[in-house]
Structure 1
């Protein structure tokens, strides 16, 4: 189980063959890497499953290999268009995920790949960015000119990048950290890093183009990938309001709404999380959450309702079909904007 979806294995992968399994999407959510938060958001799981399936099928049409098999309704694996109601289960191919040893503050990727062989989940997140919002960590890692911007200092508002930027971060470490290309190349194993970058740019282009036609701005996102017998496939889930950052008419339609709410209403918890993470980096202690002395508070009911409407209305608009009984995207966005 992850913080937002459950994982079922139907056929174990082997050193040579992919297995089969399912994601079961829940209404749980996570922000700031906390794990499961105190509240559930109704229909969020169905929204993510539906949007993820839609995007996987969109990638398939564009000849991008993925681990997606279909969605599950009444125990049967189907294409999304065959479903009668929003699905909450997704059938996928499975690859090996070896243990990543951690000792004396160091992660042993050599041991990971020794077990992984030619069939493994690449232990990286490949991040792509089309915009740089205020507060983005990218601003701390480089100057505007490094990303093709004709300005000496970062503006005090979000900036559209002239070309998408691709970065690599760790996936299985207790805290995600961004990597230079040499370290990312080592962690990727036998997979060529340029191939991962090209794949991320292709996915970003497809999602950005579709989002624009649906009225959304696609600001940033990530992919995860598996490697099997010489082929790299997009894995996990792609292009949802949790994995990626979308906006509509200038309003975030993503988990960013919740992040900003907690920054405004419970900043002491947000600060405590940041402090615990920093202390963990300095001490080499992987379980930073155990060091955090403040717990997140419950969301008010009206916030939960507005978030549910935002997920459902956003999904309806993105896929151009009313799967959910939800307000229009314009009304849902207006309600979310009123939360600020």
Structure 2
């Protein structure tokens, strides 16, 4: 469980009511479940916040319920503070606006909050019954719903399943990328120390009161909206995931949707997502990547949750040129996706060319 967002609670949720709070997006990044890496990528937080807000507003236009309330306008909040008005961070007075009304690229997203009970465990044995006993009918569903529009080389799907499992007419996975006519939807754990994919039956048990068929329908609708928007920016949406909350009998899309961290996009065949940084680490720091894989395997064999304490290597900082290229890729990609020059950045074509040369 890793995150590069900070979380601020303004009003706690209760068993019967939603709370209020905000995500504060940082410039940190994480790969391979490591957590905070040695570097920061400038403007990354604002890029993810902007894309996430844009997608939530698209989903709401399509009638998809979400926990999104708007973005916090930093310029306006600062102006209010200087003028001696009420605390701009107070949930009743903060200047929460739509993305179009934000005067600068935002780094804070206002959201409604649901309950997140503790998930007790002994080793790798997690007690979901205890989670749901505490959750009632107002909780963050402890699943990630993954959707795939293609199956690239190296995808875990190739190791875990056969083409026949998905109704595909191949005896075995072909060498190249498989483009799917219909998305493949899977479920994985959210709060376990190492994510694992689940059978539909197990996902249904872990989801509690939420219905997995409805979760799948929501994921397919999110995938459609993001895929269509990406195509308008000449981006190909390869795969992604959603997280959802359950409140008052309704499934609502939560966390953040359709960003370069949660989803994979390509532009004329080049990755425009966090995957670029992952692949760069595989090429330049293979010893660390292999040590991470070995630590995860050892943790599974020993039935312990904390795999990171077993890792004998640590990642090294990126070269300055790589950090700069990553920044331009996030910023240029966001400009293209939202259809607005929110950042001073090269064209997406130039940013992609810069990455391709690394």
Normalising by structure 1, what TM-score? 0.98
**Does 1:44 pair with 2:63?**
no
Instruction: State the shift of 1:104 in Å.
Output: 4.5
Q: Is 1:186 aligned to 2:205, yes or no?
A: yes
Q: Secondary structure at the match of 2:221?
A: helix
Deviation >6 Å, runs of 4+ = none
Q: Check whether the contact 1:22–1:90 (CA below 8 A) recurs between aligned residues.
A: yes
Shift of 1:105: 3.1
- Tell me which residue corresponds to 1:257: 276
1:164 aligns with one of 159, 183, 189: 183
- For the 8 Å contact 1:148–1:161, the answer to whether it is kept is no
- 3-state SS of the aligned residue for 1:326? coil
Secondary structure of the residue aligned to 1:254 is coil
Under a length normalisation based on structure 2, what TM-score does the superposition of the two structures give?
0.93
1:69 matched to 2:69: yes
The residue that corresponds to 1:60 in the other structure is 60
Question: 1: distance between equivalents of 2:321 and 2:156?
Answer: 31
CA distance in 2, matches of 1:18, 1:283: 39
Count of residues in correspondence between the two structures: 339
Q: Is the 8 A contact 2:2 2:33 kept in 1?
A: no
Cα pair 2:123 2:305 within 8 Å, conserved: no
Q: Secondary structure at the match of 2:292?
A: helix
Q: What is the match of residue 220 of structure 1?
A: 239
Report 1:103-182 matches (<5 A): 103-182=122-201
2:356 corresponds, among 314, 337, 340, to 337
Cα separation, 2, equivalents of 1:2 and 1:189: 23
For 1:174, what is the secondary structure of its paired residue?
A: coil
Cα deviation, 1:262-304, whole Å, max 9, x if unaligned, reads: 1101111101000100111111111100110100011000000
- Cα deviation per residue 1:74-130 (whole Å; 9 max; x = unaligned)? 241111111111000000000000000011431000000000001000000000000
Aligned with 1:27: secondary structure? coil
Gaps of 5+ in 2: 78-87, 89-94
**Aligned position for 2:84:** none
Matched residues in 1 for 2:308 and 2:320: separation? Answer: 26
Q: Are 1:102 and 1:108, in contact at CA under 8 Å, matched by a contact in 2?
A: yes
In 2, the alpha carbon distance for the partners of 1:104 and 1:289 equals: 14
Q: For residues 226-266 of structure 1, give each alpha carbon's deviation from its aligned partner in whole angstroms, at most 9, with x where no partner exists.
A: 00010110000000000000011100000111110111011
- How far did residue 2 of structure 1 move? 5.4
SS of the aligned residue for 1:182 comes to helix
Which ranges in structure 1 are unaligned for 5 or more consecutive residues? none
